């Protein structure tokens, strides 16, 4: 299905969503120090919610500064939430939950699922890494996989949540590469994919063109490869 919400890939794993009511959601806002984020997107002045997949710096990024400047609510796994609060996040802005759980908000719900990776924040244990499945009030469902290796659970998540759009890491080295991502897409069977977590740093060699060609040759899913900062044409 389609949606009136607007989606933007801001480089690496950072994603921005503007709902039809102009609520702004940021996922993994690694922006100011991200070499792939356009200069115009490095500072965000209006943000309502920040969603975090795990504690690594290239995902938490500018969370504390953005939350302080905008009053955004920050949604993350319990342990990471505690660390963010200890580093200055106002307790009233923190929403913590855990894998398998769903948080229902005014314009969307977010469900936390598993990811196969690691997680720390400032050298401290930050809970398990996660993926996030967001369902908007119009029924449009999208999945941010976070950082992950291939998992058999993707087949289950596809059946359970039937995502219309999935942000999938393909870079290799720190996450799965193209070969694993293509097989993961085959299990998940999302309608559309946007490759993320590639090209930001030299080790992240996964090719979005290779991913697109392989997925579209082997199934009915569409792969969208946007430029950083541009609205994603669904």
Domain range list for the chain: 6-222
Cβ atoms of 14 and 51 within 8 Å: the answer is no
Query: Is 90 exceeded by the pLDDT of residue 227?
Result: yes
Query: Is 90 exceeded by the pLDDT of residue 219?
Result: no
Q: What is the pLDDT of residue 97?
A: 98
User: How far apart, in whole angstroms, are the C-alpha atoms of residue 228 and residue 224?
Assistant: 12
pLDDT (tens digit per residue) in 40-85: 999 999 999 999 999 999 999 999 999 999 999 999 999 999 999 9
User: How far apart, in whole angstroms, are the C-alpha atoms of residue 59 and residue 151?
Assistant: 21
Structure tokens at 101: 């759980």
Strands 222-223 and 192-196: parallel
Structure tokens at 211: 């991913």
pLDDT (tens digit per residue) in 121-164: 999 999 999 999 999 999 999 999 999 999 999 999 999 999 99
Confidence (pTM): 0.98
Measuring CA to CA, which residue among 28, 25, 49, 17 is closest to residue 131? 28
Can you give the chain as a three-state secondary structure string? CCCCCEEEECCCCCEEEECCCCCEEEECCCCCCCCCCCHHHCCCCCCCEEECCCCCHHHHCCHHHHHHHHCCEEEEEHHHHHHHHHCCCCHHHEEEECCCCEEECCCEEEEEEECCCCCEECCEECCCCEEEEEEECCCCEEEECCCCCCCCHHHHHHHHHCCCEEEEECCCCCCCCHHHHHHHHHHHCCCEEEEECCCCCCCCCCCHHHHHHHHHHHCCCEECCCCCCCECCC
pLDDT (tens digit per residue) in 31-52: 999 999 999 999 999 999 999 9
The packing angle between helices 153-161 and 178-188, to 10°, is: 40
Within a 10 A sphere around the Cβ of 71, how many other Cβ atoms? 12
**CATH class of the domain at 6-222:** alpha beta
User: How far apart, in whole angstroms, are the C-alpha atoms of residue 234 and residue 118?
Assistant: 31
User: How far apart, in whole angstroms, are the C-alpha atoms of residue 198 and residue 137?
Assistant: 31
């Amino acid at each position: 299905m389609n949606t009136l919400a607007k989606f933007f890939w801001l480089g690496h794993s950072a994603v921005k969503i503007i709902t039809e009511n102009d609520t702004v959601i940021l996922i993994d806002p690694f922006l100011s120090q991200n070499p792939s984020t356009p200069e115009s997107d490095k500072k965000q002045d209006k943000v309502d919610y920040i969603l975090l997949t795990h504690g690594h710096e290239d995902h938490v990024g500018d969370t504390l500064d953005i939350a302080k400047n905008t009053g955004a609510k920050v949604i993350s796994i319990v342990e990471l939430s505690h660390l963010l609060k200890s580093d200055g996040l106002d307790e009233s802005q923190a929403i913590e939950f855990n894998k398998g759980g769903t948080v229902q908000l005014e314009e969307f719900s977010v469900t936390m699922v598993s990811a196969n990776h690691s997680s720390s924040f400032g050298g401290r244990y930050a809970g398990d890494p996660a993926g996030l499945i967001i369902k908007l009030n119009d029924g449009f469902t999208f999945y941010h996989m976070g950082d992950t290796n291939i998992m058999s659970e993707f087949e289950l998540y596809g059946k359970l949540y039937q995502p219309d759009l999935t942000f999938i890491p393909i870079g290799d080295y720190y996450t799965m590469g193209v070969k694993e991502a293509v097989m993961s897409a085959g299990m998940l069977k999302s309608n559309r994919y946007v490759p993320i977590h590639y090209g930001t740093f030299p080790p992240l060699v996964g090719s979005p063109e290779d991913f697109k060609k392989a997925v579209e040759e082997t199934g009915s899913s569409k792969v969208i490869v946007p430029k950083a900062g541009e609205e994603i044409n669904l």
